[in-house]
């Protein structure tokens, strides 16, 4: 079971930081955490991924708890374009490599 | 680098018919995955192809089948359409060289409506 738990929705104001939480309490040692987002009328788009250490890229930062049972996607300055459904995905190892199991995600609303 | 494209964008079929959806992966990407996304839900994994061979399947019946071609294109075929097959169908490609933790590049999807 590769399920993760996310809040159904969150709201933010433009140019403020956003912290999107994700629980993955049954994660195993070789499972990666991926974040994808889906803008309206588009396919999902890769945001970031990590295993144990915190990760940064031009889009966001990923903070992974020391016990790896939770993680937080951080958008440093939200823009209107960041309004989307954000999916936290646990990629299981072994034969499940590359087969992403999406949950329902968090709907992020960004107010001007 | 061109993106992942899918055709058609929209499709209407009636129950019992068959449908073929097409995907063109990014050049050099050996792996293609197909997902079904019902309205208001996250995408659900259907199956994955690597170098023209099926490489894993989700919880979907055999009437969902696929093909992958050497030119980085692929097809999803659904036979005996049911009303519940109405959904957005997404394909995603990746390079397939390092296995897991690879970025998947999704197409815009094909919206299928079964009446």
Q: Tens of pLDDT along A15-74?
A: 999 999 999 988 888 888 999 999 988 999 999 999 888 999 999 999 999 999 999 999
Ranked by mean pLDDT, which of A2-11, A45-54, B14-23 comes out on top? B14-23
- The verdict on a CB contact (< 8 Å) between B104 and A45 is no
Q: Are A12 and A20 in contact (CB under 8 A)?
A: no
Strand partners, B20: B77
Q: Which residues from chain B sit within 8 angstroms of residue A85, using beta carbons?
A: 42
The pLDDT score that the predictor gives to residue B84 is 97
| Closest Cα in chain B, distance from residue A62 (Å) | 15
Q: Are B38 and B89 in contact (CB under 8 A)?
A: no
Chain B CB within 8 Å of residue A72 CB:
no
- The verdict on a CB contact (< 8 Å) between A49 and B4 is no
CA-nearest residue of chain A to B110? A43
Q: How confident is the model at residue A78 (pLDDT cuts 50, 70, 90)?
A: very high
Q: Which residues from chain A sit within 8 angstroms of residue B92, using beta carbons?
A: 43-44
Alpha-carbon A10 to chain mean position: 13
How many Cβ pairs within 8 Å bridge chains A and B? 66
More reliable by pLDDT, B110 or B29: B110
- The verdict on a CB contact (< 8 Å) between A98 and B56 is yes
**A96: phi then psi, degrees, rounded to nearest 5:** -90, 5
The pLDDT score that the predictor gives to residue A26 is 85
pLDDT at A98 over 90: no
pLDDT at A102 over 60: yes
């Amino acid at each position: 079971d590769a399920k993760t738990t996310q809040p159904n929705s969150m709201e933010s104001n433009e140019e403020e930081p956003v912290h999107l939480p994700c629980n993955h309490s049954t994660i195993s040692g070789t499972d990666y955490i991926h974040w994808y987002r889906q803008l309206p009328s588009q396919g999902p788009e890769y945001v970031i991924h990590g295993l144990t250490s915190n990760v940064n890229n031009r889009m966001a930062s990923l903070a992974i708890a020391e016990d790896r049972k939770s993680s937080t996607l951080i958008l440093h300055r939200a823009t209107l374009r960041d309004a989307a459904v954000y999916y936290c995905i646990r990629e299981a190892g072994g034969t499940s490599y590359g087969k992403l199991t999406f949950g329902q995600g968090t709907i992020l609303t960004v107010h001007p | 680098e061109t993106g992942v494209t899918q055709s058609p964008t929209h499709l209407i079929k009636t129950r019992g018919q068959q449908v073929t959806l097409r995907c063109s992966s990014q050049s050099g990407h050996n792996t293609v995955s197909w997902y079904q996304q019902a309205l208001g839900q996250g995408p659900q994994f259907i199956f994955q192809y690597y170098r023209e061979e099926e490489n894993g399947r989700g919880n979907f019946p055999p009437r969902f089948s696929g093909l992958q071609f050497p030119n980085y294109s692929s097809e999803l075929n659904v036979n005996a359409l049911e009303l519940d097959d109405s959904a957005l169908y997404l394909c995603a490609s990746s390079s397939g060289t390092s296995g897991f933790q690879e970025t998947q590049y999704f197409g815009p999807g094909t919206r299928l409506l079964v009446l």
